[in-house]
Amino acid sequence: CTSLTSLEGAPQKVGRDFYCSNCTSLTSLEGSPQEVGIDFYCDACPSLTSLEGAPKKVGVNFYCYDCPSLKSLEGAPQEVVGDFYCSNCTSLTSLKGAPQKVGRAFICSQCSSLTTLEGSPQEVGRNFYCRNCPSLTSYEGAPKKIGGKIIY
């Protein structure tokens, strides 16, 4: 979907998965479905700067990794039953706007501009991955409850 510039007109409810991966001209998620039954993919979108307009409800996983222009997680669903991936988003400086509850793993590894964990989920059911974030100077703001491992 290299020429797709907008998600306006997309269905508002999808029973299984919704893909808008590799959309090189997409800058926001405005117009995306507000409910997705299983997985939502907006990975590898180099022009995506915002998650505003993202689904409010995602059945299992939310993927927004490899988006080098993504500056904020504002607009992300506030609860994800499965995994939340925002790794390799090199313009991301904080986790403000991240889901507050993630059922399985939260992965924010390889975010080279990430300077703070403020805004990270309050609760992660399994593992919290935050590897290879060279600008991160403190673990302040990390989740208060993690069911598995913290991997820095």
> What is the reported pLDDT for 94?
95
> What is the reported pLDDT for 92?
97
Are residues 32 and 6 in contact, defined by beta-carbon separation less than 8 angstroms? no
CA-to-CA distance for 59 and 25, rounded, in angstroms? 27
| pLDDT cut 90: percent of the chain above it | 93
Give backbone dihedrals phi and psi of 49, rounded to 5 degrees, phi first. Answer: -110, -15
Q: What is the mean pLDDT of residues 31-52?
A: 97
Residues ≥6 apart with Cβ < 8 Å to 118: 94, 95, 96, 140, 141
pLDDT of residue 1 exceeding 80, the answer is no
Banded pLDDT at 39 (limits 50, 70, 90):
very high
List strand residue ranges (DSSP E) for the chain, in order. 13-14, 18-19, 35-36, 39-41, 57-58, 61-63, 79-80, 84-85, 101-102, 106-107, 123-124, 128-129, 145-146, 150-151
Q: What is the mean pLDDT of residues 92-116?
A: 97
> What is the reported pLDDT for 63?
98
Average pLDDT taken over every residue of the chain? 96
pLDDT of residue 2 exceeding 80, the answer is no
Banded pLDDT at 120 (limits 50, 70, 90):
very high
User: Bridge partners of 85?
Assistant: 63, 107
Are residues 72 and 48 in contact, defined by beta-carbon separation less than 8 angstroms? no
> What is the reported pLDDT for 3?
84
